Amino acid sequence: MAVIERPPASTSTMLGAAAALSVVGIWATWLISMRYSRGGMLTPLDLSLLRFGIPALVLSPFLRRTGLWPRSAGTLPLVLMIVGAGAPFFQVAAFGLHATPASAAGVLLPGTMPLATALIGMLVLGERPDRLRKIGMLAILAGGLMLLIGTASGAALTWRSYLVLPFGAVLWAVYTHAFRRSGLGAFEAGALICFWSTVINLPLIPLMGSNLLVAPVSEIALQIVPQGLLSGLLATVLYGIGVRMLGATKAAAYTAVTPVAAAIGGAVLLGEAVDALTIAATFVTGLGVLLSTGLLSRRRA
């Protein structure tokens, strides 16, 4: 029997970090596309159909390996994965994003997700991060608050921003830990999440309505890439790879860079001003990510 050699720990860490950081750019693009869709004909259900339907078709060959409901993964982890990263999560996120500027949404959704993941790990799963990683988590929180203060001063945020989006972050954090414990690979998990999310979405069409058949082709085409190909397919798989190689809490820490990427993207693409507070928040968040990943802790040890 052939022996499969695993990559060295350093190589695995680098690959996991590269995968997690790639998700940052995709999520920043997704935030902007969600805000852009608010003025179009496509409904949140339409966007959800694109986000999960396209990857479900692309990843369908992986369902042959697992089946539609693999018992080895466990019922509870599968349910938590589908709820935390599938159609229910998307509807919660869409409800909050349509009332929140992209820059503030970057703080309240992906920006708070690493903290939610760390808290679940410590309070529920008994994880014990060292002092440097705890300082890193506090730095991520401080950087997010700095960005939020700068954003909120120029836009009136409602309860949907402050309550719904952090709840969406908690859902994704639950998915992160559930996937870690399911034993599934990134492609298999992505296939299952997208398939069952599509199954959930299809019966909702008569109830919620759909404009996919009447919306302009140009509008649908603009959403196919950020929703179906980037966020639904690539980000799901890449994030799964990051979690597999780094662990749930460490992989989630890298996504704290998303608010910074969203702010920079807004400045470059939309001409939004970047003030000194945003620049300071960028450095604080970056330092927090570096500490919370445990890289410095391992070197010191």
pLDDT in tens, 178-189: 999 999 999 999
Q: What is residue 89's predicted lDDT score, i.e. its pLDDT?
A: 96
Question: Residue 5's pLDDT band (boundaries 50, 70, 90)?
Answer: very low
Q: What is residue 2's predicted lDDT score, i.e. its pLDDT?
A: 40
pLDDT in tens, 32-73: 778 767 778 999 999 999 999 999 999 999 998 899 999 999
pLDDT in tens, 110-161: 878 888 888 898 888 888 888 888 888 888 888 878 877 766 665 567 788 8
* DSSP annotation string for 185-211: -HHHHHHHHHHHHHHHHGGGHHHH---
Alpha-carbon gap, residue 146 to 134, rounded angstroms: 19
Q: What is residue 3's predicted lDDT score, i.e. its pLDDT?
A: 41
> Does the structure show a pLDDT above 90 at 93?
yes
Q: In this prediction, what percent of the chain has a pLDDT beyond 70?
A: 86
> Does the structure show a pLDDT above 80 at 106?
no
- Total residue count of the chain as it appears in this document: 301
Q: What is residue 293's predicted lDDT score, i.e. its pLDDT?
A: 67
If one compares 172 and 270, the residue with the highest pLDDT of the two is 172
* Tokens encoding 114: 């690493």
Alpha-carbon gap, residue 257 to 140, rounded angstroms: 9
Q: Residues 191-200: what's their mean pLDDT?
A: 97
> Does the structure show a pLDDT above 90 at 191?
yes
Q: What is residue 48's predicted lDDT score, i.e. its pLDDT?
A: 95
> Is the separation of the CB atoms in 284 and 146 below 8 Å?
yes
**Among candidates 129, 98, 227, 115, which has minimal Cα distance to 172?**
115
